[in-house]
A and B are shown apart, each in its own frame.
Chain A
């Protein structure tokens, strides 16, 4: 079945450091890929998405590129801020059949220190 494997956390960085959170997936066909973010006390929010190979999703300074050859969708940000502290989830949605639901990774807790 479909699955998502995320870099284990927690990750602690200093403000303005470079961030990478690794994500790889297993799926049949050509899934859409997502990063969701969960800030403390809030619901999951879509951060960015990519729907086909080589697409780059970007939002709020975060980027991720859909790499079909390596089945990866790593999240990057050049300079993190304290306000980026949250849990980040990589997810996929496989096309076809009744697979409208998202399959999530286990999440990566990010803490950014001032």
Chain B
């Protein structure tokens, strides 16, 4: 596609529900990142994939958060037993290259999750 797409754009969940957020990266992009952006804050790194391999998940805040990219393209971020503190915008980004400090990331519009 023309850019990174994410779905749904908005999600409201009751506390304790499980949610799944989808990211479609730019076709052919090797690297995929998930970020969490709380209201009024900058994005914070959650996890990173190179193709289907999850190379870094150091930013996942708890074991309730799980991400996968089984075929090296589409990725899903799953949050189990959602809590109010999980309310945030979840951003997905992709890049053509496989790493390095100066690669350009292309961001999707984000999924705004609200946990009631």
Contacts and interface: CB of A to CB of B under 8 A. Distances in A.
Nearest to B108: A43
A81 interface: no
Decide if the interface of chain A is mainly helix, strand, loop or mixed: loop
B100 interface: yes
A46 to B, nearest CB: 5
B48 A44 contact: no
Interface string A95-106: 100111111111
Interface string B1-23: 00110000000000000000000
Given A89-B42, A101-B59, A106-B41, 12 more contacts: A31-B101, A44-B107, A89-B43, A91-B42, A93-B101, A93-B103, A98-B58, A100-B55, A100-B101, A101-B48, A102-B43, A105-B42
Interface of A: 4, 6, 31-32, 36, 41-46, 49, 51, 89, 91, 93-95, 98-107
10 contacts: A6-B42, A31-B101, A44-B43, A46-B104, A49-B104, A51-B101, A94-B101, A100-B99, A101-B33, A102-B45
